[in-house]
């Protein structure tokens, strides 16, 4: 779920020439948000997903099209702080998402 949401978000905020992520299928985008909305509603989201959503909420224009996902929209409004340190090895094993998080969080 985290990786799918990251790829969805990242594909919208950065040009594909920099990310290598092409345009995603609209049905797939909606399914990602639908499943995420269910996880939030069922209280399956963990702390990591919470701070990731909080970070992505800084680009609120992007999420406007998903206004039918009420739980997700509410989660966007409840911002939490990014952790001061993440496990760089663990993130390094998570592809482009891990590379991104390792690049913005100072793990020194």
| pLDDT tens, position by position, 52-80 | 999 998 886 888 889 899 999 999 988 88
pLDDT for the residue 108: 52
Q: Which of 29, 14, 32 is nearest to 103 (CA)?
A: 14
Share of the chain above pLDDT 90, in %: 48
How far is it, in rounded angstroms, from Cα 33 to Cα 37?
Answer: 6
pLDDT for the residue 80: 85
Segment 21-27 shows an average pLDDT of: 89
Least reliable range by pLDDT among 31-35, 46-50, 65-69, 81-85: 81-85
């Amino acid at each position: 779920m985290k990786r799918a949401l990251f790829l969805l978000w990242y594909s919208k905020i950065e040009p594909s020439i920099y990310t290598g992520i092409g345009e995603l299928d609209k049905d797939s985008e909606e399914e990602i948000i639908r499943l995420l909305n269910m996880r939030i509603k069922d209280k399956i989201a963990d702390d990591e997903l919470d701070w990731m959503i909080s970070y992505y909420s800084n680009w609120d224009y992007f999420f406007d099209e998903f206004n039918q996902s009420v739980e997700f929209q509410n989660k966007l409004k409840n911002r939490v702080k990014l952790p001061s340190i993440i496990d760089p090895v663990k993130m390094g094993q998570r592809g482009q998402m891990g590379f991104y998080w390792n690049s913005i969080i100072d793990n020194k």
